[in-house]
Structure 1
């Protein structure tokens, strides 16, 4: 803003200088003309007095008049003959001009004052005429230095210059004061306006009194209103952003031109790297799913709400979404954009399918032993109990089927407990000791199938956990490896300590698991080899129970498998249990 003040001040100064120069030229011309006219008139008046004395032929009076004129005019006076001869003069020195006849010179014949210049002297000559005839009897001449003649004019010019300079200083001082009173509020108002333009609505300016301060007052009112509006807008934006970003469903906002404006956090978490650069792009350029493009296009065309369930591949998974598309209309009913909401219903679909599978599997699993029990009981009731061998065989089958039924019911109860939540009896337990107990329990089964059972341990395998629950986990995993490993195979068990974790793994050389089945083996009643698991007495609930127990201990479970080569189940436990 100093530049603005300097520009205004420079403008004022240039204007004032131009006015003063013009005024000086006008006044100077008038002064020069007036002073010169007055000076010449005074010269002529004095010389006329001398001329009167000269016509009277009174030498004493002439000398007296010459001296008086010399005193008044501050120059040398000379009375000359028509031929230019000095007849009388003031002082004794010769006139500082050459003698010359004056009759032949133009202008001297007239009864007027003639002015000439010789070197640095000015000569004013007045003819003296006879009273009766009018003939020129001589000339009265004033000889004066040009500098002395112009002294009065120089004095006046000096006074004028000093006056002009003093006036200029006064005007400049007044202009600066006035500019300060005018420009300073403008400078502060401009500075405040710049701050407002930058978005700093807290900026204020000093409110001056009078008309000058009206701009500052109005600017402060504007700033307060802008601040209030901005706070209201920011508050609404924050609430809207918080709502959009923290809603559980994915949301996309598309404008009327088809450009994506908003992609919320939930949508990015669902689709991950696909959404990093979607904002600012046309939807049909970035949407990788044909079904979603069709939904958006139909909404643009029909301008009505559309709801559709779709299945989309997300990385290695296929997820179910309930997609809701709605047009955004303004007060005039004109389309301004489209909002898309993605409800992830994958888990609901899975639960629905699991419920169906559970009912079907439980019905099937219960039907087989119940049918066997009923059939053999009816056979015994029909008279087969008379043969001891048949009776014993049937009773053995009934006992096995009832035992199988009991295991199924117990597994269902265990699964129900872990799914509904239960409290762990946490204490320091040595996983190596628990695994060794399980190996002792299953060693006989391994020998029967001629399976080599190897076990190794490294480091301190003490963790915080529930010993009976962990034992149940190890029994399930090692028993599954023995069940699915053919005769003559190998099962390897390892326990290894790391910095903050203990890792348990069981590897076998069994039938292995297909890649697409790995994600399903922890489902209830799912069997990789249904015939083998039924023959071994499995219920299909063991791995589901294992998964829930490991998650309850805040551990992780990993599976690696190749069909025909075997499988490896790995459990990772924390040494310290963290809720």
Structure 2
């Protein structure tokens, strides 16, 4: 309003000065009065100067108004507004200061909200669950990296239909149901992606004022289910393995008590069988206890040892079994080769690998062991010329109680079925890796890679 009043006054002043100047100039020309003419020209000059000054002032005011309008617009758009700078004597100084204070307060609030949002996104991104937010328009507006891993596809950051990311029919049906019923739901879904997985999925309906969105929370429980299945398999297999020696011991003991003890030949034969089955039972119990110790992370401190002498000692420990098979052993490890490791764990590894090489070797076969260092790792190779392992069995030989169909059915090879499983868990506990190469009728090579500790 003040600007309109000032503009009106300026127009009146310009009109008045112009009228006076033109009238004075006209009278001076008519009367041929030079003084009137000069005065009139001066008045017109002053009028022009006032007009130019008014234009400049109006331009300055328009610039200030434009900056104020832009600042207010930025506030409405929730974007950062630059401060409006005006002269101390400008009539808009108070208004500019108020807008600047409001912009500063809103910018602080925006930065705080942005920091909180960023922090929340960081937390969501490190959660072990997949999170996807779908708005009312059925567009994905957020998804963390875990959801990408579960769906096995890259999710675009810009809004897009959720059907572009989700291919599983059951999950799509869940989301559509929540959109229709406005009720949260939860279930387990299999095969969400190309790989077989079991996912615990919860679709949460969340209303905010006049709109709503869905939060899809997915957690891969495949490992949990696998562990449960492994526990069931372990109990079933352990019961099966325990049943055989216990049944044999109990049966032959009852036979002896029923009168077979009076026959010297039967007595000796049955007692040998009971002794063998007792050893089998003891071996199984020791293997189970070993697995328990490994899982409880019970290990000793690493100590330096000469590997060749260490392996020779293990060959001597199993010399009776080696001689019974007439097997030739070759220790190809350099005498000065030294490693630093938990000796108890390494002893179980080497003992089980040598025992395995003896059991599955052919008569008059060969076992050779060598070792080498490559960078920050050292490698132990145990090679035999035995019956080998079929390709269908290679992927499962480290499973607990697993034996090939041939050895399980015919019981050609004695053992608990836990030896290689123990080796695998011991190697894993030492931050190592074990691999196997084998060919039926040719032989098998186990390679253990372990960190080299200076």
Alignment TM class, shorter chain as reference: 0.7 to 0.9
* Partner of residue 183, structure 2: 304
The structure-2 alpha-carbon separation of the partners of 1:414 and 1:203, relative to structure 1 and needing over 3 Å to count, comes to farther
For residue 283 of structure 1, the aligned residue among 148, 157, 162 is 162
Q: Which aligned pairs between 1:339-350 and structure 2 lie closer than 5 A? A: 339-350=215-226
Distance 2:218 2:37 in 1: 94
The structure-2 alpha-carbon separation of the partners of 1:350 and 1:418, relative to structure 1 and needing over 3 Å to count, comes to same
Please state if 1:388 is matched with 2:264: yes
For residue 305 of structure 2, the aligned residue among 404, 416, 429 is 429
Distance 2:58 2:286 in 1: 98
- Superposition TM-score, scaled by structure 2 size: 0.82
1:447-471 CA distance string (max 9 Å, x none): 5445565554479743321112101
Distance 1:256 1:562 in 2: 59
> Does structure 1 retain, via aligned residues, the 8 Å contact 2:401–2:418?
yes
CA shift at 1:408, angstroms? 0.9
Distance 1:320 1:351 in 2: 13
1:206-237 CA distance string (max 9 Å, x none): 68467422320331232134124314422442
> Does structure 2 retain, via aligned residues, the 8 Å contact 1:533–1:539?
no
1:64-95 CA distance string (max 9 Å, x none): xxxxxxxxxxxxxxxxxxxxxxxxxxxxxxxx
* Partner of residue 251, structure 2: 375
The structure-2 alpha-carbon separation of the partners of 1:519 and 1:219, relative to structure 1 and needing over 3 Å to count, comes to farther
The structure-2 alpha-carbon separation of the partners of 1:306 and 1:171, relative to structure 1 and needing over 3 Å to count, comes to closer
Distance 1:532 1:447 in 2: 26
Please tell me the root mean square deviation across aligned C-alpha atoms, in Å: 3.8
For residue 419 of structure 2, the aligned residue among 528, 538, 542 is 542
Distance 1:179 1:434 in 2: 98
Distance 2:85 2:43 in 1: 41
Moved more, 241-250 or 163-172: 163-172
Distance 2:336 2:131 in 1: 49
Distance 2:87 2:24 in 1: 45
The structure-2 alpha-carbon separation of the partners of 1:440 and 1:17, relative to structure 1 and needing over 3 Å to count, comes to farther
* Partner of residue 569, structure 1: 446
CA shift at 1:382, angstroms? 1.9
* Partner of residue 101, structure 1: none
The structure-2 alpha-carbon separation of the partners of 1:295 and 1:173, relative to structure 1 and needing over 3 Å to count, comes to closer
> Does structure 2 retain, via aligned residues, the 8 Å contact 1:526–1:540?
yes
Structure number with higher relative contact order (C-alpha < 8 Å, ≥ 6 residues apart): 2
SS at match of 1:338: strand
* Partner of residue 480, structure 1: 356
Distance 1:286 1:500 in 2: 42
* Partner of residue 111, structure 1: none
* Partner of residue 505, structure 1: 381
For residue 224 of structure 1, the aligned residue among 80, 104, 112 is 104
* Partner of residue 47, structure 1: none
> Does structure 2 retain, via aligned residues, the 8 Å contact 1:527–1:533?
no
* Partner of residue 258, structure 1: 138
The structure-2 alpha-carbon separation of the partners of 1:428 and 1:271, relative to structure 1 and needing over 3 Å to count, comes to farther
1:507-556 CA distance string (max 9 Å, x none): 445332445x5554333222234427954331122222222222222222
Please state if 1:29 is matched with 2:26: yes
> Does structure 2 retain, via aligned residues, the 8 Å contact 1:202–1:224?
no
- Superposition TM-score, scaled by structure 1 size: 0.66
Q: Which aligned pairs between 1:125-524 and structure 2 lie closer than 5 A? A: 152-153=33-34, 156-162=36-42, 164-165=44-45, 168-169=48-49, 172=52, 182=61, 185-186=64-65, 189=68, 199-200=79-80, 203=83, 205=85, 208=88, 211-272=91-152, 274-277=153-156, 280-312=159-191, 318-331=196-209, 336-442=212-318, 445-446=321-322, 448-449=324-325, 453-457=329-333, 461-487=337-363, 491-508=367-384, 510-515=387-392, 518-524=394-400
Please state if 1:555 is matched with 2:432: yes
SS at match of 2:191: strand
Count of paired positions: 442
The structure-2 alpha-carbon separation of the partners of 1:175 and 1:340, relative to structure 1 and needing over 3 Å to count, comes to closer
Distance 1:454 1:173 in 2: 108
CA shift at 1:356, angstroms? 1.5
1:334-392 CA distance string (max 9 Å, x none): 6x332221122222212211221222222222211111111111122222222222211
> Does structure 2 retain, via aligned residues, the 8 Å contact 1:456–1:493?
yes
Distance 2:158 2:360 in 1: 51
